[in-house]
Structure 1
Amino acid sequence: MREISQDELAANCGTRFASDERPSSEKLWVAIDGYVYDLTKFEKLHPGGKAVLRMVGGQECTKEFYALHNKSVLEKYHKRLCVGKLKDSEQNLTNFETSSAMSKEEEQESLASKVPFAEIPLLRPNWVRQPWWTDSHRDFLFDLRKKLSGIQEECEQIEKQGKYVPDELQEVLGKEWNLLSCLNGTSVMPIAQKLGLVLPGGLQPKEFDLFHEYIAHAEFGRRIPVGTRNGLAGGMAISLPAIAHFAGNMPEALREQIVADVLSGKKKSCLAVSEPQAGSDVANIITMAVKSKCGKYYIVNGIKKWITGGMNADYFVTAVRTGPVGSGMKGISLLLVDKSFGGVTLKHIKTSDAMAAATAWVYYDDVHVPVEYLMGQENKGFRCIVANFNHERWLICAGVVGSLRTILEDCFLWATQREVFGKALIQQPVIRQKLARMIGGLESLEAYMDSITYQMAHMDSFTQMIELGGPTAILKFQVTRVMTMISDEAVQIFGGRALTASGLGKNIEQMQRTFKFASILGGSEEIMADLGVRQAMAMFPQHARL
């Protein structure tokens, strides 16, 4: 790439304003971050009009550019418009020039953010690594991040345009990249191993652990907008582990085929528990399943609501009442309903994230479900639901923590480049106080997540249900409380840009519009807090006194 002098840059200043006595030229060049860009033709296409470009024609305008745009805009147009490097520039060159000869270490370094606290401790170069992190986690993370970065723009367009996630994208993540397997926990890995899948970073399914899954949810939270993320994997991640773990009454080959089809993106699954009459109060669901006279089917009738991914699902892990009305949790069973059985009708629910989430009403009208599609034991499905809830709540937390890293990174970057009253925002003590609250909250969540994840990884499902139900509920409560705080502080740091769905504050706008989803789904904050304390009291020593 050739070097361009300051004089040559100044000579290509574009057509000036009529009132400007300085000489003009046919070409309009500007310098940003040490690179020189030819905007002569782009001037007519510039969304902000010609005038703002003419004001900086022939000049170094890095400061002016970053007051209006984020780096992704430069990345988008760099190859098309860049004509050289500015000679003797004091600006730090952004690394747009990637090389196929880069070593693995150099490529990974290029994918890691240098912004304080933007990365988990695993990626902080001078930190001593915690014992649960390994090189396989690091390789897994960077390969996953590279793949997700490649579809990030497409996913943002799906979110904006009000579309469902296309089947082609689902299959790329499933069949081509084997990413969907990484969002479903260790219960699907024996089937993934049989299928010969190789996970990101060259990881074999038998080597996959909960910290790999933690990374997967966190990276999806960082890179993929919440509506599209839920459409791609939200319903699947809270239903497929239950199919793999509890659908033991059906022939093994059939169960494995269902799991394989969903992992490949060929089919989709969702969890259908919530009802209009019973949201978090699962013990009082009224969708009924009655045995047919021949004894070969459960006949299901009822309504489910707020079913993430339901509009596009093929399989519905459905909570039903098989015991008498009023029997509470003792009369609940879990069935796997295949839409092809007939009698399943879907209706889209418009929510504040995006149509891409495919949130649905699900209506069951005399759906005949073969008895071998019973998951677990009849009238003992509540235990399966609770065990599944622990994983659901944990993965919600992992996705939130990942998304909060992006928000903190954006706030740091904006505070250092935005000038107000002659100073960068970061020079204002009130802004540093806000950042400190965000850092403290997020770093505390990271430690809590690591602790719970380590315990989950070393407990069987029954022990998890007894020991971790309460702590996981408290974790989710704390995660969403911190998310509320960070969303609020981020909006104040970004000001009007935090209310704008594009540009510099788009991530902040999306969070402040959708952060309450995590506070409600999987059990509301109030239910989580109460559950955590009630479970703690169940183990309270009888004779303890102050």
Structure 2
Amino acid sequence: MSKRFSTADVASHKTASDLWIIVDEDVYDLTNFQEEHPGGKKILQRVAGKDASKQFWKYHNDSILKKYQKQLQVGSLDSKAAPPAPPATAAPEQKKAPKKDVVKPEANSGVIAPQPTEAAAEDSEPFDAYGDLIPYADPSWYQTYHSPYYNDTHVALRDEVRQWVEEKLMPNVTEWDEAKKVPDEIFQEMGERGYLAGMLGMHFPTEYTDKRVQCVPTEKWDHFHEMIITDELSRTGSGGLVWGLIGGYGIGGPPLFKFGKKELVQRIGPDLLSGKKRICLAITEPDAGSDVANLTCEAKLSEDGKHYIVNGEKKWITNGIWSDYFTTAVRTGGEGMNGVSVLLIERSAGGVSTRKMDCQGVWSSGTTYVTFEDVKVPVENLIGKENQGFKVVMTNFNHERIGIIIQCLRFARVCYEESVKYAHKRRTFGKRLIDHPVIRLKLAHMARQIEASYNWMENLIYQCQKMDEMEAMLKLGGAIASLKAQSTTTFEFCAREASQIFGGLSYSRGGQGAKVERLYRDVRAYAIPGGSEEIMLDLSIRQALRVHKVLGMKL
């Protein structure tokens, strides 16, 4: 149990050689921290022995507390409410929902196959409350509302990932963003925890790795587990961090595991799943972004027919600067989509050069310019069939865009949650921001867009889980494209409104407005990659009309 102190106890530690302060009723010994304090010793000495909460929150956010709490906190005030006692049972349980679909992989399909349900989802009980319970700051199923999509394994995974994120990632996000790289050991820990193996939009690939997610049996792994990992990582409020961990891997890996030759996957798959090696997706070129059918990076067969010789350039490639493997769209045939193939290019082959690009946002994502010069690629590294790579690329887009959607909507929630917390602390014109109707209106507009978009996302993920990949590509491609546009505009709206609520604090890096400032920079990295909003919206209608004509639409 934490030691308890009175304010008089703390006041007795008020010298430079014995310096304690109070922040939010917790007591910190900063005697040996003074030399490390970025603001200098004098600022700390002015509040020695006092409650410094107001001064602390003026300059910092809660990530600073998380970073130094274990090292510097010595106890709490005796006036602080004691934490609730743990339940008497050794292993507290969440409210149980009836067993739902147990998912098992179909042989060689890469598609999750639902098994018969044992009880109707409508009979499920809501799970216990989780998180801070700020309305709309977490999905409704975190806050005692009913949902047909989740079971106890999702609850357990949510808690496992959140604890890891809170302990390992949150305190260091700003530092890593400024350094423009997430440490390699964090990526490798993603592999060790089994998270990387679960981020491929398919069954858990037990045949290629011995890594396991601790709280979820591999036969029960589904798309909602993958969604939870992405969602909880995104609570850090850093697109750079999320892309640094799962950006290149999450879009470069699936084509290899789903369409690569078995021998190729067996050779490089285990090191990718463990985090020892890295992979990225290389499609976009200086003159070909969303217009994939017109890419020009060329791959010609060698005279002996054993290799493709690749020449060309790729641009804005996430994680490319660190990658060992490049899942690359190349031109092997004539013009248009029917001349596109996908190759797994290995950096070790030689002829691959990469240089980091400086971009507006997602600083720690390793955005890269890639040049291929006479790179020899074994024909065994062909992913899918020659000149049929366009199908591989298009199938992969659904998975990529859903990842973007998940991130955008959590980032929008982060903007909203930070705004709610700040609005309850900040006072203007004699009252708190939250007491001004104009601020509440901003929060209401943020919440309505987040919830509408999130519910659509849950439905589409459920559809992806029930359909095979071809059906999902045909029926859901348009809807996912539309929701991608909806989620990026929601994110941009929330980032803008949060910035208005924070005012000047969201204009400077660091401090209370750090997450909002960082996310505002990241907005364009979501609105453009994976298909720009304009192209997504046009695609959504064209695709829907085409599919529904086949389904029997009557006009």
**TM > 0.5:** yes
Equivalent residue of 2:157, what SS? helix
Matched, 1:297 2:316: no
Corresponding residue for residue 135 of structure 1: 152
Q: Would you say the 8 A contact 1:9–1:58 is kept in 2?
A: yes
Matched, 1:538 2:546: yes
Corresponding residue for residue 179 of structure 1: 195
Q: Which amino acid aligns with 2:213?
A: L
Q: Would you say the 8 A contact 2:360–2:521 is kept in 1?
A: yes
Work out the CA distance in 1 between the residues paired with 2:138 and 2:27: 31
Equivalent residue of 2:414, what SS? helix
Q: Counterparts in 2 of 1:466-477, with a 5 A limit? A: 466-477=474-485
Q: Would you say the 8 A contact 2:174–2:510 is kept in 1?
A: no
Matched, 1:4 2:5: yes
Equivalent residue of 2:504, what SS? helix
Q: Would you say the 8 A contact 2:508–2:517 is kept in 1?
A: yes
Q: Give how far 1:78 is off.
A: 4.0
Q: Give how far 1:402 is off.
A: 2.1
Work out the CA distance in 2 between the residues paired with 1:456 and 1:138: 21
Matched, 1:214 2:214: no
Work out the CA distance in 2 between the residues paired with 1:509 and 1:148: 20
Matched, 1:272 2:282: yes
Work out the CA distance in 1 between the residues paired with 2:321 and 2:19: 50
Corresponding residue for residue 341 of structure 2: 333
Q: Which runs of 5+ in 2 are unaligned?
A: 95-126
Q: 1:441 to 1:11 in 2, by over 3 A?
A: same
Q: 1:291 to 1:71 in 2, by over 3 A?
A: closer
Corresponding residue for residue 268 of structure 2: 258
Equivalent residue of 1:515, what SS? helix
After superposing the two structures, state which structure 1 stretch, 237-246 or 148-157, moved more.
148-157
* Number of residue pairs aligned between Structure 1 and Structure 2: 518
Equivalent residue of 2:459, what SS? helix
Q: Which amino acid aligns with 2:406?
A: A
Q: Would you say the 8 A contact 2:161–2:229 is kept in 1?
A: yes
Work out the CA distance in 2 between the residues paired with 1:340 and 1:44: 46
Q: Which amino acid aligns with 1:4?
A: F
Q: Which amino acid aligns with 1:243?
A: L
Equivalent residue of 1:320, what SS? strand
Q: 1:160 to 1:292 in 2, by over 3 A?
A: same
Work out the CA distance in 2 between the residues paired with 1:36 and 1:388: 51
After superposing the two structures, state which structure 1 stretch, 416-425 or 453-462, moved more.
416-425
Match of 1:117 among 130, 136, 140: 136
Deviations 1:183-211 (A, max 9, x none): 22225x2x33553332142x122211000
Q: Counterparts in 2 of 1:136-535, with a 5 A limit? A: 136-152=153-169, 153-162=171-180, 164-174=181-191, 176-187=192-203, 189=204, 191-192=205-206, 195-201=209-215, 203-223=216-236, 225-248=238-261, 252-324=262-334, 327-353=335-361, 356-535=364-543
Q: Which amino acid aligns with 2:201?
A: G
Work out the CA distance in 2 between the residues paired with 1:8 and 1:359: 52
Q: 1:29 to 1:323 in 2, by over 3 A?
A: closer
Q: Would you say the 8 A contact 1:473–1:528 is kept in 2?
A: yes
Q: Give how far 1:394 is off.
A: 0.8
User: Percent identity, aligned pairs only?
Assistant: 37
Work out the CA distance in 1 between the residues paired with 2:272 and 2:396: 18
Work out the CA distance in 1 between the residues paired with 2:423 and 2:226: 32
Q: Give how far 1:255 is off.
A: 1.2
Q: Give how far 1:223 is off.
A: 2.5
Deviations 1:457-488 (A, max 9, x none): 01111101110110010010100011110011
Q: Give how far 1:397 is off.
A: 0.8
Equivalent residue of 1:504, what SS? coil
Work out the CA distance in 2 between the residues paired with 1:155 and 1:279: 30
Work out the CA distance in 1 between the residues paired with 2:75 and 2:129: 21
Deviations 1:400-459 (A, max 9, x none): 222222222111111101111221110011110010011111111110110110000011
Q: Which amino acid aligns with 1:262?
A: L
Work out the CA distance in 2 between the residues paired with 1:302 and 1:168: 32
Work out the CA distance in 1 between the residues paired with 2:55 and 2:355: 48
Work out the CA distance in 2 between the residues paired with 1:451 and 1:306: 31
Work out the CA distance in 2 between the residues paired with 1:52 and 1:110: 40
Q: Would you say the 8 A contact 2:264–2:380 is kept in 1?
A: no
Q: Which amino acid aligns with 2:232?
A: E
Corresponding residue for residue 72 of structure 1: 63
Q: Which amino acid aligns with 1:118?
A: A
Work out the CA distance in 2 between the residues paired with 1:473 and 1:70: 35
Q: Would you say the 8 A contact 2:321–2:354 is kept in 1?
A: yes
Work out the CA distance in 1 between the residues paired with 2:186 and 2:518: 22
Q: Would you say the 8 A contact 2:27–2:73 is kept in 1?
A: yes
After superposing the two structures, state which structure 1 stretch, 405-414 or 426-435, moved more.
405-414
Work out the CA distance in 2 between the residues paired with 1:111 and 1:386: 37
Equivalent residue of 1:300, what SS? strand
Q: 1:492 to 1:320 in 2, by over 3 A?
A: same
Q: 1:159 to 1:381 in 2, by over 3 A?
A: same
Q: Give how far 1:109 is off.
A: 8.2
Deviations 1:263-294 (A, max 9, x none): 11111111111111111111101111122222
Q: Give how far 1:500 is off.
A: 1.8
Q: Would you say the 8 A contact 2:475–2:544 is kept in 1?
A: no
Work out the CA distance in 2 between the residues paired with 1:428 and 1:216: 36
Work out the CA distance in 2 between the residues paired with 1:170 and 1:543: 48
Q: TM-score, normalised by structure 1?
A: 0.87
Work out the CA distance in 1 between the residues paired with 2:63 and 2:199: 27
Match of 1:33 among 24, 27, 45: 24
Q: Would you say the 8 A contact 1:34–1:93 is kept in 2?
A: no
